[in-house]
Each structure stands twice: as C-alpha cells, then as structure tokens.
Structure 1
C-alpha cells in the first residue's frame, strides 16, 4: 500500500518545479530575482498546465492510459489549458486596458484637484495584467509537467 498517492505527488512536484522554473527564467531574463514570482500566476512555464499535465501522465502511468480515470484527467487537463489561454488571457488583456483607463482617470482627477483643492484625491488600484498564458507558455507547462511525472515514475515507482 502506498503512503502517498503517486499522481498527487507528481502534480505537486509539477506545480512547485514550474513555479521555481518561472522564477529562475525571470531572474535570468530580467537579471533580478523576485520572490513573489514564485506565488504569482502567469509567466513561463504555466504552472497550472504543468500541474494538470503531471497529474494526468502520472494517472496514466499508475492506472493505465486506457482507464476512465486517465480519460477524465485528460479532459480536465484540456479544460485547464484552454482556460489559461482563453478566459484568463482575455481577463489579463482587459486588466491592461482598464489600467490605461484608471491612469487617465487619475490624471484627470489630479487636474480637477488643481482647479478645486477642496476635492479629495482619487485613489485607484492597478489590476493584475499577467493572469493568463500564451500558447507557448501553456505548451511548455504541459511538456514540463509530463516530464516531471515520467521522471518521478522512473525514480520512485518503476
């Protein structure tokens, strides 16, 4: 009897390794390491895609690629990948557009305050723009997660 579920461990490893890879890639490309990147969504590779890919491949290796559980997980992986490239990417683009509007409102508010000092300052928070993924980021996450699951299988279970 297994103490821990191999698919669960593979999914956790897929997520954590993708998050650390994301921080490393950003550190190399921007020549600075930002710890909050480890917990942020968006970026290369997609940790959501890596997580579900690792889970699906691990289920296939553990239960069989013809199992109903693998089929269900494969569909789940497709939905998560589609959502990352579709809905979440669109939400990020909307956030970018809203940030432009917010900045314009802030400028107009400052101009209005110059003319009427009795008015309060308009404080608006910026929206997060990096919440979705490009096709390349999702593909990299899917590949990364699959490789993590296969490596874990061969290291611990084969």
Structure 2
C-alpha cells in the first residue's frame, strides 16, 4: 500500500480512537458518535498534517511537495489552537449570555485545541509516519 495514504489513515483514525478513549475516561460514557467529535485531546487535524509532512519528507526530502505540506501544516496547526480556540471562547461567552437571558440554546461548538492537544496530535502524526516509513 502507498505509505503516504497509510500514514494518513493511521494518524487520522488512530487519533480519533484515542479521542474516544479520552472522552470515555473523562465522562464514563462510550459512544461511537465521539469518533466524529472535533476539538479535544489529541488534535487529529495536527496529527494528519504532521503525518503528511513527515512521510513526504522521508520519501522525497526537501521537495516542493514537502514544502507545500509543511506550509499546510503550519496553517492548520495555527488555526487549530489560535483562530478556532478564540472563536470557541467567544462562543462560550455567547452561551453564558443566552443562559442569563433564558434564551433557548441547543448549540454545540468546539473550543478548538489547546497547545498540549496540538502537540500530542503532532507527536502522534510524526511517530505514525516514522513507523510506517521504517517498518512497513
């Protein structure tokens, strides 16, 4: 199988499975719906893009393809704990205002990621690609 595709699949699916376990440990409730949850520990977005950049670097070295994947990784990671985190915090403020005004609220949103969640996701993506490249 193509190592790039395998790395991406393992990093993406692996982090979502870890996320399910983290949610289960925290809430004592299990649901396969949590497989599709955004935000939380670890960041699957970070795992995915770091896995891509890592496997491309290992296969091609400093190529144009690697450079594009690295730029994509920087943008996605910055968005994960920067823009999305800020938007999520503002969403929490709006939810609190709606509660105080006794307005109906059925909104679900993600807070984005903390730097630790992004780091752990990135580490998983890196290690998955190293493993796929050298052992598969």
Same fold (TM over 0.5): yes
Q: Taking structure 1 as reference, are residues 127 and 26 closer, same or farther at Cα in structure 2, changes over 3 Å only?
A: closer
**8 Å CA contact 1:96, 1:127 repeated in 2:** no
Q: Which residue of 2 aligns with 1:146?
A: 126
**8 Å CA contact 2:53, 2:66 repeated in 1:** yes
Q: Secondary structure at the match of 1:86?
A: helix
2:106 to 117, 120, 125: 125
Q: Which residue of 2 aligns with 1:72?
A: 68
The alignment's TM-score, normalised by the length of structure 2, stands at 0.91
Do structure 1's residue 90 and structure 2's residue 70 form an aligned pair? no
Q: RMSD of aligned C-alpha atoms?
A: 1.6
Cα distance between partner residues in 2 of 1:101 and 1:124: 10
Q: Secondary structure at the match of 2:42?
A: coil
**8 Å CA contact 1:95, 1:127 repeated in 2:** no
CA offsets 1:73-97 (integer angstroms, 9 cap, x no match): 1111111111001110011111111
Cα distance between partner residues in 2 of 1:154 and 1:29: 35
Gaps of 5+ in 2: none
Cα distance between partner residues in 2 of 1:127 and 1:96: 10
Cα distance between partner residues in 2 of 1:126 and 1:67: 44
**8 Å CA contact 2:98, 2:104 repeated in 1:** no
The alignment's TM-score, normalised by the length of structure 1, stands at 0.79
Question: How many pairs align?
Answer: 136
Once the two structures are TM-superposed, the CA of residue 11 in structure 1 deviates from its matched residue by 1.4
| Greater radius of gyration (CA) | 1
